[in-house]
Amino acid sequence: YTANAGTTLYAVWEETYTVSYNANGGTFPGTVKSVSPKKDDTVDVWLTAGEMPVRTGYDFKGWAKTIEDANAGTADYKDGETTSFTMGDDSITLYAVWAPQNIPIAYDQDDCTDAENQPLLTLTASPTSVPYGSTLEFKVTIDTNKVDTSKFQVVVGNSVIAATSVDQHESPKTYTYKVNGVKEALTIRFTGLTYRTYGVTLDPDGGTILGGSVRYYTVGSGAVLPNEDQIIRTGYHFDGW
């Protein structure tokens, strides 16, 4: 402009605001983006691949306007859909939205089988997958009249998550395990079950046992008792037990 006399110029200010990003339990792999738009500016939401936050056991699903929506799994902005908004008259924080990954569950009963490879326990209500961070729940039924549970253990990896004694295992019994820190399939392993062993007393009732004496038998395999050639009594014929 052209001035013919002294004048005073006054600065004109337009307020700016901040758009911040909160990883909401995750971590950013690099520098966290922050922008300072003016009111009514169009803001492109930060959705650059490779720059989004990461979190063990979870998949990133986008950004939410409130922490409540984020924790409920509701994303206001996500790649391929709504990716921008018009700036209002206040700063805003966007919160990462996470979805738990599904963890496959396997059950290993190989150490709890009989001589014919039949399981000594029955699994019920045993899900084959659960969301990361949730609690796995499964039920085990054991016929404690036949099976000795004194060394029974439930194992995950190298950790024993449950151990019971012969008198502590109700049937069915519910076990739980918090699924955290697992990135791949989780295997629940059962060990320590065997058939019960019972004592056997043989009373020859006046006779004499020559051989084949048995002092115990195991459920599932039975016992071989002395036969007519292995027990005698003068004046009598052995007719069985």
- pLDDT tens digits, 93-148: 999 999 999 999 999 988 888 877 888 888 887 899 999 988 999 988 888 888 88
Global pTM value = 0.68
What band does 166 get if pLDDT is binned at 50, 70 and 90? Answer: very low
Q: What share of the chain is helix, strand, coil (3-state, %, to 5)?
A: 0, 35, 60
206 CB contacts (<8 Å, ≥6 apart)?
233, 236
> What is the model's pLDDT at position 170?
67
Residue length of the chain: 241
Nearest to 179 by CA among 236, 129, 144: 129
* pLDDT higher than 60, residue 11: yes
The confidence score (pLDDT) of residue 66 equals 96
| pLDDT score for 221 | 62
